[in-house]
Amino acid sequence: METITINRLADLRIGDRIKSWDGHAYNPPRVVTTTLGPIEAGSPVQGVRLANPNPDSALEYVLYPSQMDGRALEVERP
């Protein structure tokens, strides 16, 4: 796997594994399940969905450009 650093959520692809953001490690890495787009059909709000690392939890993980763009994301790309 290739490890890259990105600074925009729009650059993420399905299957990317986010290892860290601004030096803060994710353990386990977070896996991208949808690219940047509406968080719900017809919604003007854009986000990137991530797989929940805890399969027993119903919590949804979504990253928003307003909060994450400009931060360094260390990503493993298959």
Tens of pLDDT, residue by residue over 36-69, are 999 999 999 999 999 999 989 999 999 999 999 9
pLDDT at 9 exceeding the cut of 90: yes
pLDDT of residue 36: 97
Is residue 74 a contact partner of residue 6, using CB atoms and an 8 Å limit?
A: no
Give the SS3 label for residue 18.
Answer: strand
pLDDT of residue 63: 96
Structural domain boundaries in the chain: 2-77
Query: What's this model's pTM, rounded to 2 decimal places?
Result: 0.91
Fold of 2-77: SH3 type barrels. (2.30.30)
pLDDT of residue 38: 96
